[in-house]
Amino acid sequence: MHSKTCKETLVVRTSRVFLNDLNNHYTLFGGKLMSMIDDIASISAARHARSEAVTASTDSVDFLGPIRQNDSVCLQSFVTWTGTTSMEVFVKVIAEDLMTGERRVAATAFITFVTLPREGKKVIVPTIVPESEEEKYLHETAKSRAQARHARRIRSQELASKISAYKPWD
């Protein structure tokens, strides 16, 4: 089994924040940012697996500060951990005030992707090799996040078995 570095899965996207991207508080819509996060993370996952991969769970999205109209928003994503057919992708969101140059981490996210079978066979993902201090830290702490994901998935399945799928208008 071969491996890849986190850097080989790195994707960077910078966008300007426009008026139609803002909510009634004049900050970037959270849902718009979440869409951008899922999009960029999916590219890191596909780049790593070189296979079709789908979002299995959005493990966390933490909004740490507002992103305003005079900001640019830079998203950086890379694979931090792998299972057999799954990958954890970290996304860092950096807002930059375009007038002052001040940069700040505005959000972070962890998203899990799973590969889709190809010709009826599982697609095994390469292992990941962290190099920078940031990558090493995220890789070392991934096991506890994977355990929390597993426990949360079990609770979600239990919840789904207790709630109905009926149409309320019936």
Residue 65 falls inside a structural domain:
yes
Q: Is 167 among the domain residues?
A: no
How do residues 38-85 score in pLDDT, each as one tens digit? Answer: 999 999 999 999 999 999 999 999 999 999 999 999 999 999 999 999
Number of domains in the chain: 1
Q: Please state, in angstroms and rounded to a whole number, the distance separating the CA atoms of residues 7 and 44.
A: 10
168 occurs within a structural domain: no
What does the mean pLDDT of the chain come to? 95
Interatomic CA distance for residues 123 and 100, integer angstroms: 46
CB 90 within 8 A of CB 61: no
* 130 in a structural domain: yes
Give the model's confidence band at 145: pLDDT under 50 very low, under 70 low, under 90 confident, else very high: very high
Residue 150, in any domain of the structure: yes
Residue 170 lies in a domain: no
CA distance 114 to 83: 9
Strand partners, 68: 27
Which long-range contacts does 15-24 make (Cβ < 8 Å, 24+ apart)? 15/72, 15/73, 16/72, 16/73, 16/98, 17/67, 17/68, 17/69, 17/70, 17/71, 17/72, 17/73, 18/69, 19/69, 21/69, 22/69
Within a domain: 169 = no
Question: Quick one: pLDDT at residue 1?
Answer: 59
As a whole number of angstroms, the distance between CA 52 and CA 44 comes to 11
- Domain containing 136 equals 3-162
Query: How far apart (Å, rounded) are the C-alpha atoms in residues 95 and 70?
Result: 10
Q: Reduced to 3 DSSP states, what percent helix, strand and coil does the chain have, rounded to the nearest 5? A: 35, 40, 30
- Is the pLDDT reported for residue 102 higher than 90? yes
For residue 76, give the CATH number of its domain.
3.10.129.10
Predicted TM-score of the model (pTM)? 0.92
